[in-house]
Each structure stands twice: as structure tokens, then as C-alpha cells.
């Protein structure tokens, strides 16, 4: 019994040290956003440089056609006109493949690119990857990237329901400065 308690205590302490280290590894406001080159649901390659001069909403999500991911995608879809009017484009990223993205986009009438990070490299660069060995998926994190390619806002564990509205409000605020 004493060994079990000791093992649990050591595991808990280890988890907190890992959590602190993970937070220090996260991206920071004002730093250049990590570059990427990924195919969307139509096979078109998108890069960070291709968005230069525009605001970019880059949101990572765990899995196509799941309840939370569908809600988040549809709120970005519904707010897309306002985001475009504010000079922004939206791109979603998950580790699903382009075929899965195509089905998801068609089913929910998503008019923005869904990028396939099959190797989970971009999610890792954005510290938005959960790696469980053979199973990998993206964390629900969103990055608002300014026209110069620098990170303007970070939304960790973004709300699937409120993320789009939060980005719109922050974008309005940032453009008013």
C-alpha cells in the first residue's frame, strides 16, 4: 500500500514538471509563426508565405466529422464572411488525410481550406500535437497570425463553440490599434 501511494505521488509530481516544461515550450506572441506547406481537401498546397499580407486564422482540431470539430468548423464557416471582410483567411489543420477533409468539407459546406498534416509535423511545430505513440491527433488550438507572419493571438484549448467569435472580436481590436 505504501509503495502504491509513493508511486502515485512520484507520478503526480512528474506530471506537474512535464506540464510546466510543456508551457515553457509553447509559442509566444510576436514571434514568427512556424512555416508550413500542406495540401488541402482539393490537393492544393498552402504555405504560411502564401498568406503574407493577410491575417491568418490557423486552427488545429482533433478529427474530421466529430461533434466538437464539426461545431468549431461550422462556426468558422458561419463567421467566414465577417473574417474575410476583416482581411483574414481561415485554415483548419488536423492529422486526417485530404480525402477525409474533402468529405468533411462537402458534408458541412466548408468554404475554407482544411489542411492535411498526415505526418503530424506542423501540429508538433505549433505545440498542438497529442502523441500517444501510434495514435496522434491535434489539440484544439488556434493561432491568429498577423500580415507579417507573426503570432498575434493564441487560443489554447479553444472553445469549439466560441472560438470563431473570439477571433473576430480580437481581430477587430487588433485592427483598431
Residue 174 is placed in which grid cell? 487588433
Residue 149 domain-assigned? yes
Q: Is residue 12 part of a domain?
A: no
* Domain count across the chain: 1
Looking at residue 1, its pLDDT comes to 62
Residues 6+ apart with CB under 8 A from 95: 116, 117, 118, 120, 123, 136, 137, 138
How far, in Å, CA of 37 to CA of 132, rounded? 24
Query: Is residue 45 domain-resident?
Result: yes
Q: Please report the pLDDT score of residue 10 as a whole number.
A: 66
Say how far apart CA 144 and CA 83 lie, in whole Å. Answer: 11
* CB distance 88 to 57 below 8 Å: yes
- pLDDT for position 14: 52
Chain centroid offset of residue 112 CA: 14
Indicate which CATH number applies to the domain containing 64. 3.40.30.10
Task: State pLDDT tens for residues 54-91.
Answer: 999 999 999 999 999 999 999 999 999 999 999 999 99
89 in a domain, yes or no?
yes
The pLDDT averaged over each successive group of 10 residues in the chain (177 residues) is: 64 50 67 95 95 95 94 96 96 96 96 96 95 91 96 95 95 88
Instruction: Please tell me the predicted confidence (pLDDT) of residue 133.
Output: 85
CA nearest to 90, candidates 80, 100, 99, 98? 80
Q: For residue 67, give the C-alpha cell.
A: 461533434
Q: Is residue 100 part of a domain?
A: yes
Decide if 23 is inside a domain. Answer: no
**Domain assignment of residue 109, yes or no:** yes
Give residue 150's domain range.
28-176
pLDDT at 24: 45
| pTM as predicted | 0.84
Measured distance CA(174)–CA(151) in Å, rounded? 12
Cβ neighbours for 50, distance < 8 A, ≥ 6 positions apart = none
- Is 132 a domain residue? yes
Q: Which residues are the active-site residues?
A: 69
Helix (H, G, I), strand (E, B) or coil at 90: strand
Amino acid at each position: 500500500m505504501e509503495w502504491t501511494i509513493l508511486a502515485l505521488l512520484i507520478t503526480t509530481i512528474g506530471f506537474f514538471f512535464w506540464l510546466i516544461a510543456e508551457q515553457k515550450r509553447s509559442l509566444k506572441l510576436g514571434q514568427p509563426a512556424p512555416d508550413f506547406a500542406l495540401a488541402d481537401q482539393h490537393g492544393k498546397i498552402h504555405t504560411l508565405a502564401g498568406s503574407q499580407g493577410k491575417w491568418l486564422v490557423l486552427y488545429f482540431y482533433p478529427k474530421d466529422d466529430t461533434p466538437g470539430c464539426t461545431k468549431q468548423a461550422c462556426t468558422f464557416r458561419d463567421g467566414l464572411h465577417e473574417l474575410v471582410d476583416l482581411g483574414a483567411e481561415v485554415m483548419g489543420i488536423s492529422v486526417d488525410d485530404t480525402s477525409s477533409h474533402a468529405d468533411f468539407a462537402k458534408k458541412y459546406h466548408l468554404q475554407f481550406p482544411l489542411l492535411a498534416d498526415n505526418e503530424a509535423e506542423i501540429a508538433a511545430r505549433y505545440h498542438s500535437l497529442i502523441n500517444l505513440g501510434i495514435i496522434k491527433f491535434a489539440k484544439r488550438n488556434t493561432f491568429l497570425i498577423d500580415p507579417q507572419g507573426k503570432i498575434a493571438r493564441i487560443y489554447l484549448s479553444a472553445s469549439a463553440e466560441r472560438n470563431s467569435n473570439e477571433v473576430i472580436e480580437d481581430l477587430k481590436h487588433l485592427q483598431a490599434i
